Amino acid sequence: MKVLVLGDGRLGQEIVNQTGWDLLSRKKDNIDVSLFDDWCWKMTGYDVILNCIANTNTYSEDYQSILDTNYKFVTHLVTFCDEMGIKLVHISTDYVYVNSVENASETSVPVPDRSWYSLSKLLADEHIVLFCRDYLICRLSHKPYPFPYDEAWGDVSTNADYTPVISELVIKLIENGACGLYNVGTPTKTIYELASRTKDVTETISPPHIPKNVTMDLTKLNQFLSKL
């Protein structure tokens, strides 16, 4: 199986480090998401394209840039992958569940918070589900390893984990042919509890606009992994 990773952010780079898969970088390879036809030929010959490209400026008001990167670019990827017979693996976010139920399952109705980031990611997910013939969507969140800050929120519950841990889970899903939509993470903990595993941090309270619970039901993921 020949896999191409798009994007050399923290997650994309860690996945490449763990697997040796090929990589296309927006900076190093001059990839402009708004000029898709100029470089899409570079993606030919692969069995799987893993899209880690995203505008993660969560509360930015620059909605056009966010929509262009997180939604419109994905629609082009779907069309390309369908035409070329390539499987699309897309990295989504737990933020689509901000106003949904706790421990949201893949079949729960996502209700994004009032940010263009969350809305753009949900739009991309729904477009893939509706139009892509062969796909895997991974809803997740990951944190730098080790935790880089001196303070950590004790009132925010999450299934996020450190980037190497989340990367390993995504790799297992890809290598073992998972399809459809998966919540990807590890058992629920607070950001403070996660941070304390790698650093002596001070527990603090998050700002009012930060979602306090984006927990996900990981049953589907765990059942898949238990069969490997």
pLDDT of residue 114: 84
Residue type, 109: V
pLDDT of residue 113: 85
Phi and psi at residue 21, to the nearest 5°: -65, 155
Asked if 33 contacts 26 with a C-beta cutoff of 8 angstroms, the reply is yes
Nearest Cα neighbor of 115 from 158, 60, 154 is 60
Model-level pTM?
A: 0.97
β-pair type (87-93, 202-204): unpaired
State the Cα–Cα distance between residues 110 and 203, nearest whole angstrom: 29
pLDDT of residue 19: 98
Beta bridge partners of 92: 139
**Neighbour-count burial of 85, counting CB atoms closer than 10 A to its CB (0-12 exposed, 13-18 middle, 19+ buried):** exposed
> Tokens 């290598």 belong to which residue?
175
Task: Spell out the per-residue pLDDT of the chain, length 228, in tens.
Answer: 999 999 999 999 999 999 999 999 999 998 999 999 999 999 999 999 999 999 999 989 899 999 999 999 999 999 999 999 999 999 999 999 999 999 999 999 998 888 999 999 999 999 999 999 999 999 999 999 999 999 999 999 999 999 999 999 999 999 999 999 999 999 999 999 999 999 999 999 999 999 999 999 999 999 999 999
**Neighbour-count burial of 210, counting CB atoms closer than 10 A to its CB (0-12 exposed, 13-18 middle, 19+ buried):** middle
